[in-house]
């Protein structure tokens, strides 16, 4: 039974780690895209409808101080998604 118990706890640990990684990856990819989406919704564009979303997003990232500004505020969602997804994987 000790061997079975350690095998079970090892599987639980692997599930926790896998869930944490999945949650953190989702936030690292999704947060910058969501930040760009919100910035695109906030701007009052007088541009023609021919402007593509990628050109608007590119100009938004260049107009800010740094490209890294799309990751501002990542800490709390990153932590929460890691913990929640780790718990869900159990």
- Altogether, the residues listed in the chain come to a count of 90
15: Cβ contacts below 8 Å, ≥ 6 apart: 86, 89, 90
| Per-residue pLDDT tens digits of the chain, which is 90 residues long | 556 567 778 888 999 999 999 999 999 999 988 888 887 777 755 555 556 667 766 776 666 556 677 788 899 999 999 999 999 987
Contact between 55 and 9 (Cβ < 8 Å): no
pTM of the complete model: 0.66
């Amino acid at each position: 039974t000790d061997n079975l118990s350690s095998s079970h706890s090892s599987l639980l640990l692997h599930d926790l780690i896998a869930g944490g990684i999945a949650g953190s990856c989702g936030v690292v990819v999704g947060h910058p895209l969501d930040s760009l989406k919100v910035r695109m919704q906030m701007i009052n564009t007088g541009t023609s409808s021919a402007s593509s979303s990628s050109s608007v997003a590119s100009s938004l990232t260049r107009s800010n101080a740094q490209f890294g500004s799309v990751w501002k505020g990542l800490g709390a969602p990153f932590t929460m998604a890691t913990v929640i997804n780790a718990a869900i994987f159990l």
